[in-house]
């Protein structure tokens, strides 16, 4: 199995030419309106990240995600995805994992890499009975979602449940985090910082769950996994409730605007979140190439030749995108 991702702009440039600055990369779900970078103390650049700053960021994360459960900061949710399949190293060859499909394929890939038996399921209800169940909520790429209470009910019917909430920031009411208690010791929630805050290069994310599980993950991470500048930026951004509220409104407006433009080409909106939209059309690969010739990169899918996913453009990219879509 190979993984497919958005953000592979090098592939687009190699095939269609141009320089990076000429491209409009809409292949990801990263907010095009990034959080304004704060003024940083010089020591975050010159000193190794200290535990006090890490703890402060974890406290800010707990407040932002409204959880009383333990929080661990990592180098992006991706690092957590690479680590959690290792937590049952002594038993994983005898264990099965059920993953929702289609979804973010790194979960399946990392589990297979570590010897898990992985079964794809198409509905959340089919995850029942798994040794390990994995669900992305809201789902990427189609935006399907499962209410928090249904997730908690599912946790009672599996041995362990991983919930990837990387795209949940625009929809805080969808998050299971505020509902978790000490009784949910078999639930691990993953959160991304870079997507909603538009700072994917900071490589910051969070795992929320049982302390013993987080301790094992921290051991796998090693020392100084997250840089000092990333921690300092994360602390400032997570504490800015006003920015988050305004941004949710902005993203919802932009997602609606993108759907309107897509409809001009006859594309059907079939899902997504306010950070990315999924469209159905005849011959999505053709459309991907059409946009690429105009230095706009979209995300297609090898398992469905009628799907095309677009992220939101920055303010300067709307006219260019509309002209490309309506030809």
Whether residue 149 is found in the same domain as residue 211: yes
Counted domains in the chain = 2
pLDDT interval class at 161 (50, 70, 90)? very high
pLDDT interval class at 7 (50, 70, 90)? confident
Torsions phi, psi for 65 (to 5 deg): -95, 5
Tell me: the pLDDT tens digits for 215-238? 999 999 999 999 999 999 999 999
Whether residue 227 is found in the same domain as residue 248: no
Torsion, CA 220, CA 159, CA 132, CA 221, rounded to 10: -10
pLDDT of residue 92: 60
CATH code assigned at 24: 3.90.1150.10
Residue that is last in its domain, among 194, 222, 239: 239
Q: Is residue 4 part of a domain?
A: no
Whether residue 163 is found in the same domain as residue 303: no
Torsions phi, psi for 284 (to 5 deg): -65, -30
Question: Which residues neighbour 127 within 8 Å (Cβ) at sequence distance 6 or greater?
Answer: 98, 100, 121, 133, 135, 154, 158
Tell me: the pLDDT tens digits for 187-217? 999 999 999 999 999 999 999 999 999 999 9
Q: Is residue 194 part of a domain?
A: yes
Whether residue 104 is found in the same domain as residue 219: yes
Whether residue 215 is found in the same domain as residue 259: no
Tell me: the pLDDT tens digits for 276-306? 999 999 999 999 999 999 999 999 999 999 9
Average per-residue pLDDT for the chain:
96
Helix axes 9-16, 284-292, angle to 10 degrees: 70
Helix axes 241-264, 318-326, angle to 10 degrees: 20
Over residues 83-111, the mean pLDDT reads 88
pLDDT of residue 95: 83
The structure tokens listed for 93 are 């060859």
Q: Is residue 15 part of a domain?
A: yes
Tell me: the pLDDT tens digits for 239-279? 999 999 999 999 999 999 999 999 999 999 999 999 999 99
3-state DSSP of 102-137: CCCCHHHHHHHHCCCEEEEECCHHHHCCCCEEEEEC
Tell me: the pLDDT tens digits for 36-80? 999 999 999 999 998 999 999 999 999 999 999 999 999 999 999
Indicate if the pLDDT at residue 2 is higher than 70. Answer: no
Name the percent of the chain lying above pLDDT 90: 93
Q: Is residue 24 part of a domain?
A: yes
Residue that is last in its domain, among 239, 260, 295: 239
pLDDT of residue 190: 98
Whether residue 99 is found in the same domain as residue 113: yes
Q: Please give the C-alpha separations between residue 8 and each of 11, 15, 178, 301, in angstroms, as whole numbers.
A: 6, 12, 34, 13
Residue that is last in its domain, among 178, 211, 239: 239
pLDDT interval class at 90 (50, 70, 90)? low
Whether residue 265 is found in the same domain as residue 212: no
Whether residue 184 is found in the same domain as residue 151: yes
Whether residue 119 is found in the same domain as residue 178: yes
Q: Is residue 1 part of a domain?
A: no
Over residues 131-147, the mean pLDDT reads 97
Whether residue 131 is found in the same domain as residue 206: yes
Q: Is residue 225 part of a domain?
A: yes
Indicate if the pLDDT at residue 93 is higher than 70. Answer: no
CATH code assigned at 88: 3.40.640.10
Query: Domain range spanning residue 322?
Result: 9-29+242-326
Q: Is residue 41 part of a domain?
A: no
Q: Is residue 2 part of a domain?
A: no
Whether residue 251 is found in the same domain as residue 317: yes
Alpha helices in the chain (DSSP H): 9-16, 43-46, 51-64, 77-83, 106-113, 148-155, 194-197, 211-221, 228-238, 241-264, 284-292, 318-326
Which string of DSSP letters, residue by residue, matches 235-257? HHHHT-HHHHHHHHHHHHHHHHH
pLDDT interval class at 158 (50, 70, 90)? very high
Whether residue 156 is found in the same domain as residue 279: no
């Amino acid at each position: 199995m190979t993984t497919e991702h958005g953000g592979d702009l090098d592939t687009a440039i190699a095939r269609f030419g141009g320089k990076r600055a000429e491209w409009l990369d809409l292949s990801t779900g990263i907010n095009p309106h990034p959080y304004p970078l704060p003024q940083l103390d010089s020591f975050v650049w010159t000193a190794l990240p200290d535990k006090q700053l890490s703890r402060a960021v974890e406290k800010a994360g707990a407040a932002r995600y409204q959880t009383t459960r333990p929080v661990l900061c990592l180098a992006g949710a991706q690092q957590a995805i690479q680590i959690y399949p290792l937590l049952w190293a002594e038993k994983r060859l005898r264990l099965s994992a059920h993953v929702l499909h289609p979804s973010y394929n790194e979960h399946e890939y990392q589990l297979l890499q570590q010897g898990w038996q992985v079964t794809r399921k198409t509905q959340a209800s089919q995850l029942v009975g798994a040794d390990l169940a994995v669900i992305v909520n809201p789902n990427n790429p189609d935006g399907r979602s499962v209410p928090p209470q249904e997730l908690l009910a599912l946790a009672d019917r599996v041995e362990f449940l991983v919930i990837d909430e990387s795209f949940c920031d625009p929809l805080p009411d969808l998050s299971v985090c505020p509902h978790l208690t000490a009784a949910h010791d078999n639930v691990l929630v993953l959160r991304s910082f870079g997507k909603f805050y538009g700072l994917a290069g900071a490589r910051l994310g969070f795992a929320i769950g049982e302390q013993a599980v987080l301790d094992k993950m921290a051991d796998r991470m090693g020392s100084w996994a997250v840089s000092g500048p990333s921690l300092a930026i994360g602390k400032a951004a997570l504490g800015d409730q006003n920015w988050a509220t305004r941004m949710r409104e902005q993203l919802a407006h932009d997602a609606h605007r993108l759907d309107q433009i897509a409809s001009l080409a006859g594309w059907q909106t079939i899902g997504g979140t306010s950070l990315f939209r999924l469209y159905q059309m005849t011959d999505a690969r053709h459309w991907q190439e059409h946009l690429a010739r105009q230095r706009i990169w979209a995300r297609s899918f090898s398992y469905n030749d009628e799907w095309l996913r677009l992220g939101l453009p920055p303010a300067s990219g709307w006219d260019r995108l509309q002209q490309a879509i309506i030809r």
